[in-house]
Copies of this chain bind each other. A is one copy, B any other.
Amino acid sequence: MAVTLKDIALKAGVSITTVSRGLADYDDVAAETRQQIRQIAQELGYRPNLLARRLQKQRTDTIGFILPTFGPRFSDPFFSEFLAGIGNETAVHEYDLLVSTHAPDSPGEQQAYQRAAQGGWVDGLIVVRTREDDARVRLLHEHRFPFVAFGRSCCDLDFPYVDEDSVAGMRLLVQHFVDLGHRRIGFIAPPDNLMFGRLRREGFLETMAANGLEVAPEWLVTGDLTQRGGAEAVGQLLGTGLGVTAVIASNDLMAIGAINRIQQHGLQVGRDVALGGFDDIPLAAYTSPPLTTIHQPIYEIGRQVCAMLIALVNGLMPTPSHILLEPTLIIRESSGQPLAPPTSS
């Protein structure tokens, strides 16, 4: 079927070894022979069998990315942006990228990481959406399998990561709303087991406290990071007449869901309710009203994580190996105008 070294060797009347060396630009093969070998390889349309080569070389030039997905789909623009970063970086280094999806903390996920770490068909892994105590991180660390994480985790372990400073980001966002005059601010929190979930929640509470503001327990609702989750959460926040004047969603996707639901309540985002998101996904600028949010260079993070990993599998410990990015506040219309000072009634 496919053309192999053997075919070329036969046709050229030399040994397989020589062909191999000729094509690999070894310096110890006669220029003439090399010439001829190349010629024939060209004619026959030879392509090396990568599996064979990889088996022999014991490296795959492939990195793996196992996407944690809730539910049957992972159509999260955040990941799509992140994946773009990884994908382009792998391309630059002529690596392949193996993608698969598994529900977080599922047996399937566990197994996938096992397979990856020991099956020898990827050289390294990218771990995203770290959990507070992350079995994946522990597993890979234990096997000394190369990986780079987006997000911190398991604080007792040392491993390379890139992370955004969630606490700082949330501080910017909350302070923005406080400065606009808001005192009663609702928070759509991420699931608590996610590392960034805990940090964003902390950032929120911390900044509220720093401003001497109370947070009633009912103002804190957890959402599942999807649009639907955001809609439901904001529904809870609005439905019961809690009287919050602003809502912070802990990611843009939930914020987008929230916009929709708020409008269904007959309210206008940015006028009746101020709203903020987090991530600055590409579409955040195109919602209506455009979303005030915290910018993360998602694409860039993907690129960087991937570059670090490739360095790592090549035996170079990337420096620095712990990167913490400073987020920035992007003010758009969803956060509205400064509130009139409350009438003293």
Contacts and interface: CB of A to CB of B under 8 A. Distances in A.
Interface string A43-82: 0010111111011000010100001010011111101110
A227 B282 contact: yes
B287 A286 contact: yes
Interface stretch (A17-25, A173-181, A254-262): A254-262
A202 interface: no
A102 B88 CA distance: 9
A118 B288 contact: no
Contacts of A120: 2, 49-51
Contacts of A289: 288
A115 B96 CA distance: 12
A227 B285 CA distance: 11
- Copies of the polypeptide in the assembly: 2
A289 to B, nearest CB: 7
Contacts of A121: 50-51, 96
Contacts of A278: none
Interface in A102-134: 102, 108, 114-115, 118-121
Contacts of A73: 81, 84-85, 88, 299
B91 A81 contact: no
B87 A96 contact: no
Which of A79, A90, A283 has most chain B Cβ within 10 Å? Answer: A283
A88 B75 contact: no
A249 to B, nearest CB: 13
B75 A286 contact: no
A282 B119 CA distance: 36
A205 B101 CA distance: 42
A259 to B, nearest CB: 7
Nearest to A59: B51
B72 A88 contact: yes
A324 to B, nearest CB: 24
Contacts of A90: 100
A97 interface: yes
A98 B96 contact: yes
A216 interface: no
A99 to B, nearest CB: 5
Given A47-B115, A97-B100, 4 more contacts: A49-B55, A67-B87, A74-B87, A75-B80
